[in-house]
Structure 1
């Protein structure tokens, strides 16, 4: 009897785990047959391949269909490969795809309250609240703060730049410090202090998405959200949360009591909290005119007609969550870009030389004065180099949307697909950036793809390093500014070279992130 009961339980469990296996078959969408629990991600779970490699293989096989199915663990989701479909989902029909995957609301209490995970009206309100920090006026103020820090960084770098330099460690320390001072309003000690406690906290933030244990947490959540909740596990560890409470809530309290004001996120959150959530006027949002390089995305109006807030402005966790998101997003994006960009500049000496000559031209125009905000953003080849760096190594290898209102998508050739509420759609950013139909010879690092002569041929929807549409990365311009600033100063003073320990090729870690697997060591030779 026990044997038959066991067989019955196993059968029921199997049927439950494979209940969505014919989801795409019924809709006439190409897909690969999934395995129970892991879906199409077995090689990732076994850490044989990275997420990038898994998606790339399936993308090449199915891209002609414009859309294909992917089983991410137990979740069935659509992958769109056509730029027109991408524009439809991300821009034209945005009201049907306002939100990110709903799992983020439940998989971590802190992350679930961040701008990334907030949904519908609450997302619109928080986006309106945070957007002024990245206005043109505030960016210029932060630029002045970063310029002073860049000078201090070079002094410290001169002492450390001996022999082979681990550029990930170098730039992660730089990024942690500039994010601390310009966004959160406190001085970091990550560059000067090798054993910095702040740096240890920042490294643990980085591990939220790029560890094997994090992948297992997503797997457990995919099997059963109730089981995940009962386990009590969270993505963000307690030490990170405790640190963020200090730099957010305690800092807000200290500023209020001592009448301190700084142009940063903490100040903005304090003002909003004191105003009990009154929305700022639309003219206080970011001014695109001075910041619209090709590597940046277009900013969209996300204003709301609601007069009363749906957010609980007294909830400390709400503000801590925004600090967490801005810190981890700013840290990962800039560190990843600088690590991979300096690697490509070392490999491509001709590109490095051309960028150095542009930097020299700017220094001559400055007549010995520090580079200005305006001068940095007018550097055309610098923007081409940054844009190409973001194409080859996008900081987010995939972006997703979650259908909140049913819609029928036109697939062309008389075909259509009805998307119901609750279904996820993702864009494989890395695969699209490396598609030879969009970017010929895609593995070649060629900044001239983005020069004035060629950039008009780039199809909208085929280049999306920070996402696209109203829900694109809000802090992209800040990430670009601090990246351009440090590249400017480094190349003005050093020539970057490969060494015997520099990897011949970069690959990705076998996890859910876009982090580079290899240690990247480069040599910095002082210029005369």
Structure 2
């Protein structure tokens, strides 16, 4: 038995050695592919897994410092190369090349580099973010009307109701004195969970009185890290073929079932009781009715994306929730943190809010929000410092030649991932000196004119720009304006000016 074990160990050792040699040879050939192409290769020492922070979003975003550092290594180059395991990835730095990839030559880079198998993860697989080609185009054209200002304006009173719930919560918390301590992220997630559930589906949650409301509960299940979830989601992002083989999915099963059940019950109630609301879910119901009228036969050859079934409604409802809940709450937290750390800028914004409310007979209106230029600057600067996503990933869908500095061109082959490093560009000292400082005046019309256009894109850019951008901006602006109309926001001894915003803030009555 000992001899057998020794032989087995020797056999495995030899095999591992052979595998290592093959892997090294393969990586060498991949590196040579970049070198032959005259692409500047960024060497990076990245530890993907650490025991202190095992979380899928760490794999996806790494850290601010690391991303900015890698971006700055490209100084003097229009683009560069990195590796995602064995796959070469093109990283863009030049605004004109970025413009070509995400706008002018969009047809050559129209797909996002994110894979989700619709048969394994049926709701995420229908998300416009992961859809590709003509299926994405058709889905996008159906959903775009839900996010025009014409659609958003009637929803604004619902956002104001949630703002009133929040103010009631703050007033109750502060009634014992002139100030109260609140956790900014907690406050923001309660607000966005209620705002999205009410505006999109007509479901009132009141998370300020019920911290365990269902939408917040399942939002946490989706987003909070666990070791197994990190393995599954990390595999989906980094090794999609392996994820499909293992039937890993990005969306937890209980979240899928919750949205299927809740949205179906709500849709059935509306149809059975002739309830019509001017919200996102109503648009989805209308799309389903149109699809059913157009496809009255039971022809099985009709593709899934033309049928618009209950599964499609649940998928788009989940998409709206995830985009409006976590992305908006993170942005809102950053804004509140910046205002607490920069009292002079907070005072400037407060004066603008008070002035606009006074002009509108003591009311905060949808139209008034659209005219608050300093509020726009505050939001743009906050999202510059900490964009919702740190980079845009595209896949080359048609061969394309990128012009290089020396007059040569680089041929980008179909299937090559192309990355626009949003966070790095947002902190490039060439465009934003003292980039760590909060300076809203960077976004005056005069200052914006001094920078190339494609150096600020917190919601993405081009035909794939975030669909929910206007809704996100509306709910963030509404809440910030409502709070500042009655309270000051101050730092506490625990508040740090750092890359993360989970510390306490002090809300003080004016």
1:125 aligned to 2:138?
yes
Q: How does 1:362-381 map to 2 (within 5 A)?
A: 362-368=356-362, 370-381=363-374
Change (3 A) 1:24 1:384: same
Distance in structure 2 (CA, Å) of the matches to 1:88 and 1:175: 35
Q: How does 1:412-451 map to 2 (within 5 A)?
A: 412-451=405-444
Determine if contact 1:166/1:522 at 8 Å carries over to the other structure.
yes
1:42 to 30, 37, 47: 47
Change (3 A) 1:160 1:242: farther
Shift of 1:191: 1.7
1:251 to 249, 259, 266: 266
1:89 to 97, 101, 105: 101
Distance in structure 1 (CA, Å) of the matches to 2:465 and 2:422: 13
Distance in structure 2 (CA, Å) of the matches to 1:212 and 1:86: 36
Partner residue in 1 for 2:338? 344
Distance in structure 2 (CA, Å) of the matches to 1:14 and 1:26: 24
Determine if contact 2:78/2:405 at 8 Å carries over to the other structure.
no
1:99 aligned to 2:91?
no
Distance in structure 2 (CA, Å) of the matches to 1:192 and 1:353: 30
Distance in structure 1 (CA, Å) of the matches to 2:286 and 2:82: 44
Q: What SS is found at the alignment partner of 1:125? A: helix
Change (3 A) 1:522 1:397: same
Change (3 A) 1:474 1:219: closer
Partner residue in 2 for 1:330? 324
1:506 to 477, 498, 502: 498
1:523 aligned to 2:506?
yes
Distance in structure 1 (CA, Å) of the matches to 2:138 and 2:122: 19
Map Cα deviations across residues 74-106 of structure 1 (whole Å, 9 max, x no partner).
433111111111101000000011111142347
Change (3 A) 1:25 1:344: same
Partner residue in 2 for 1:60? 72
Change (3 A) 1:315 1:522: same
Map Cα deviations across residues 12-46 of structure 1 (whole Å, 9 max, x no partner).
53356553442423322222457xxxxx5325656
Distance in structure 2 (CA, Å) of the matches to 1:51 and 1:74: 22
Shift of 1:167: 0.7
Q: What SS is found at the alignment partner of 2:462? A: coil
Q: How does 1:190-269 map to 2 (within 5 A)?
A: 190-207=207-224, 213-217=228-232, 219-221=234-236, 225-269=240-284
Shift of 1:519: 2.5
Determine if contact 1:73/1:219 at 8 Å carries over to the other structure.
no
Unaligned runs of 5+ in 1: 35-39, 280-307, 508-515
Shift of 1:51: 3.6
Determine if contact 2:324/2:472 at 8 Å carries over to the other structure.
yes
2:201 to 184, 196, 207: 184
Distance in structure 2 (CA, Å) of the matches to 1:320 and 1:339: 28
Change (3 A) 1:221 1:377: closer
Distance in structure 2 (CA, Å) of the matches to 1:218 and 1:26: 34
Shift of 1:437: 0.4
Change (3 A) 1:52 1:277: farther
Determine if contact 2:197/2:215 at 8 Å carries over to the other structure.
no
2:155 to 142, 146, 157: 142
Partner residue in 2 for 1:110? 123
Shift of 1:232: 3.1
Change (3 A) 1:58 1:159: same
Partner residue in 1 for 2:349? 355
Q: How many pairs does the alignment contain?
A: 481
Partner residue in 1 for 2:384? 391
Q: TM-score of the superposition, structure 1-length normalised?
A: 0.85
Distance in structure 1 (CA, Å) of the matches to 2:201 and 2:238: 37
Q: How does 1:300-311 map to 2 (within 5 A)?
A: 311=305
Q: Which has the larger radius of gyration?
A: 2
Unaligned runs of 5+ in 2: 1-6, 295-301
Structure whose residues are more often helix by fraction = 2
Determine if contact 1:332/1:395 at 8 Å carries over to the other structure.
no
- CA-based RMSD of the aligned residues comes to 2.4
Q: What SS is found at the alignment partner of 2:291? A: coil
Distance in structure 1 (CA, Å) of the matches to 2:506 and 2:326: 23
Map Cα deviations across residues 168-218 of structure 1 (whole Å, 9 max, x no partner).
0011000000000001221112122123333211212333xx666555335
Determine if contact 2:42/2:74 at 8 Å carries over to the other structure.
no
Q: What SS is found at the alignment partner of 2:379? A: helix
